[in-house]
């Protein structure tokens, strides 16, 4: 029988109580990984998602923990090592939006988005790298966005945070490639989750028209790419940004 792709591996995924993070956790759990995930939803939502992941048979731990809080992430990493004894894959997925046109954007909205989307990646990458160096291997997957490549009116803070993630991803790939640590980003297009469901119907229609594959993406579309990047199938791929966007940005 063929071994499952992530059998014996431990993955830490930020922001995985729902949406894209949860879909990634499901794919990884189905591929045999033990899962640690964080979130800032309700405890109940976190536990429900954790329970569903346990059905795949692996170990699952859930922490209600702010990925943007540097010391909280350090504590989290100690917990992961204590409980699982290892870490193989880090997925930085936690993210928020605070959309507004630049002229109306307040300082709090700017700071909050940069903090949660970008600084969180610095926190987790730094903490995980210590473990990866000891193990002499590791995989980092950062969830960016096509908006971080092309920009988007009304999302200057979000686009800047996602462009920042791409810069971080590539720098880490350059710094740590010689240590057998791979670092890649996924840039999703327009994916059906809570984050996009509040958009005006007209705006959704505009988006859809611009997508060559003529549909919005599903969280699973992103998760399949994450599984590929997490597994040894992608062992010669680092420093890349892979668009999962139905062709919307070519
Ligand atoms: P979502 O809002 O459905 O889920 C976000 C998750 O992050 C939740 O589990 C939430 O509890 C958690 N979270 C929020 N702030 C956190 C923090 N400070 N610390 C820890 N966890 C935190 O969002 P969705 O749509 O699943 O997005 C996931 C990622 O994908 C985000 O980084 C987002 O920017 C990115 N993305 C989403 C796209 C879309 O169309 N939905 C397109 C491109 C990128």
Residue 142 beta carbon below 6 angstroms from any ligand 1 atom: no
Q: Shortest CA distance to 20 belongs to which of 247, 162, 220?
A: 220
- Predicted confidence at residue 1, as pLDDT, reads 62
pLDDT of residue 41: 98
Q: Which fold has domain 10-244?
A: Rossmann fold (3.40.50)
In ligand 1, which atom is closest to the CA atom of 117?
32
Three-state DSSP at 163 gives helix
**pLDDT tens digits for 44-66?**
999 999 999 999 999 999 999 99
Contact predicate 142/92, CB 8 Å: yes
Average pLDDT of the segment spanning 214-219: 96
Mean pLDDT value across the chain = 97
Q: From the CB of 164, is ligand 1 less than 6 Å away?
A: no
Residue by residue, what is the 3-state secondary structure of 42-104? Answer: CHHHHHHHHHHHHCCCCCEEEEECCCCCHHHHHHHHHHHHHHHCCCCEEEECCCCCCCECHHH
Q: Whose CA is nearest to atom 7 of ligand 1?
A: 15
Per the model's pLDDT, the better-predicted residue between 248 and 197 turns out to be: 248
Phi/psi of residue 63, each to 5°?
A: -130, 130
> What are φ and ψ of residue 247, in 5° steps?
90, 10
Q: What pLDDT shows up at residue 206?
A: 85
For ligand 1, the distance from its centroid to the CA atom of residue 226, given in whole angstroms, is 15
Active site residue 22: no
**Domain boundaries along the sequence of the chain:** 10-244
Q: Does the pLDDT of residue 2 top 80, yes or no? A: no
Instruction: Check pLDDT > 90 for residue 205.
Output: no
Q: Worst-scoring range by mean pLDDT, 174-183, 193-202, 231-240?
A: 193-202
**Residues 87-132 pLDDT 10s:** 999 999 999 999 999 999 999 999 999 999 999 999 999 999 999 9
Q: Which helix (H) or strand (E) element contains residue 37?
A: strand 34-39
Decide: helix, strand or coil at residue 14. Answer: coil
Q: What is the pLDDT of residue 242?
A: 99
CA distances from 44 to 17, 18, 61, 89, 217 (A): 10, 12, 14, 26, 27
Give one DSSP letter per residue of 229-242, joined into a string: HHSGGGTT--S-EE
What pLDDT, on a 0 to 100 scale, did the predictor assign at position 197? 86
Ligand 1 atom with least separation from CA of 115: 18
């Amino acid at each position: 029988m063929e071994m499952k792709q992530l059998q014996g591996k431990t993955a830490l995924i930020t922001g995985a109580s729902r949406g894209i993070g949860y879909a990634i956790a499901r794919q990884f759990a189905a591929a045999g990984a033990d899962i640690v995930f964080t979130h800032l939803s309700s405890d109940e939502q976190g536990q429900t998602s954790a329970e569903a992941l346990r059905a795949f048979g692996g170990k699952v731990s859930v922490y209600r923990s702010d990925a943007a809080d540097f010391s909280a992430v350090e504590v989290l990493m100690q917990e992961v090592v204590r409980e699982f004894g290892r870490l193989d894959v880090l997925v930085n997925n936690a993210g928020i939006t605070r959309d507004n046109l630049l002229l109306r954007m307040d300082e709090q909205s700017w700071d909050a988005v940069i903090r949660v989307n970008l600084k969180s990646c610095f926190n987790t990458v730094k903490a995980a790298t210590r473990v990866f160096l000891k193990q002499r291997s590791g995989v980092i997957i950062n969830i960016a966005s096509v908006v971080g490549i092309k920009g988007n009116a009304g999302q200057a803070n979000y686009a800047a945070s996602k462009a920042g993630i791409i810069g971080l991803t590539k720098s880490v790939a350059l710094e740590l490639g010689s240590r057998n640590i791979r670092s890649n980003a996924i840039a999703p297009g327009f994916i059906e989750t809570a984050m996009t469901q509040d958009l005006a119907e007209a705006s959704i229609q505009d988006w859809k028209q611009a997508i060559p594959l003529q549909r919005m993406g599903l969280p699973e579309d992103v998760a399949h790419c994450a599984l590929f990047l997490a597994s040894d199938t992608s062992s010669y791929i680092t420093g890349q940004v892979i668009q999962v966007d139905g062709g919307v940005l070519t």
